[in-house]
Structure 1
Amino acid sequence: MSNPTCARCGTPAPSEDLPLTWVTSVEKGRKLVYCDRCARENVRSIESKLDSAWW
């Protein structure tokens, strides 16, 4: 199995296990992950539960 990648910027996770600083989201039935940088830059939108298309 390959390492997950950030759904926003494409940064690969350092291993198959996601770092605790990464965010997991379910949008339209799909599980997406976001790296710590993208999560920090979009924390208000994530907390508002906006789909990533609105960021």
Structure 2
Amino acid sequence: MSLPGEDSAHEADQQAVVCARCGTTAQGTPLTWTYSVEGGVGRLYCEACARENLRAIEGRLDAEWW
């Protein structure tokens, strides 16, 4: 519930969010989580899943990118 004059976006930030990959939950959106749009749908990934995905992407890059 919002107080008079309170920003409704602040209320949305405090709702529980769920990682689209592993199901981890958090209050609000932690700064370490990653947001992705896949097929027009926004998805949030926890820090552990985001790191694992980034490592997989990096592992497929040609050596010239390093």
**Could you say whether these structures have the same fold, taking a TM-score greater than 0.5 normalized by the shorter chain as the test?**
yes
Question: Where does residue 6 of structure 1 map in the other structure?
Answer: 19
The structure with the largest strand share of the pair is 2
Q: Secondary structure at 1:4's aligned position in 2?
A: strand
Q: Secondary structure at 1:42's aligned position in 2?
A: helix
TM-score by length of 2: 0.58
List, as ranges, runs of 4+ consecutive aligned residues in structure 1 with deviation greater than 2 Å. Answer: none
Q: Root-mean-square deviation (CA), in Å?
A: 1.4
Number of equivalent positions: 43
Flag structure 2 segments of 5+ consecutive residues without an equivalent.
1-11, 58-66
Aligned pairs for 1:1-55 within 5 A: 2-13=15-26, 15-16=27-28, 18-43=29-54, 44-45=56-57
Name which structure has the greater RCO, CA cutoff 8 Å, separation 6+.
1
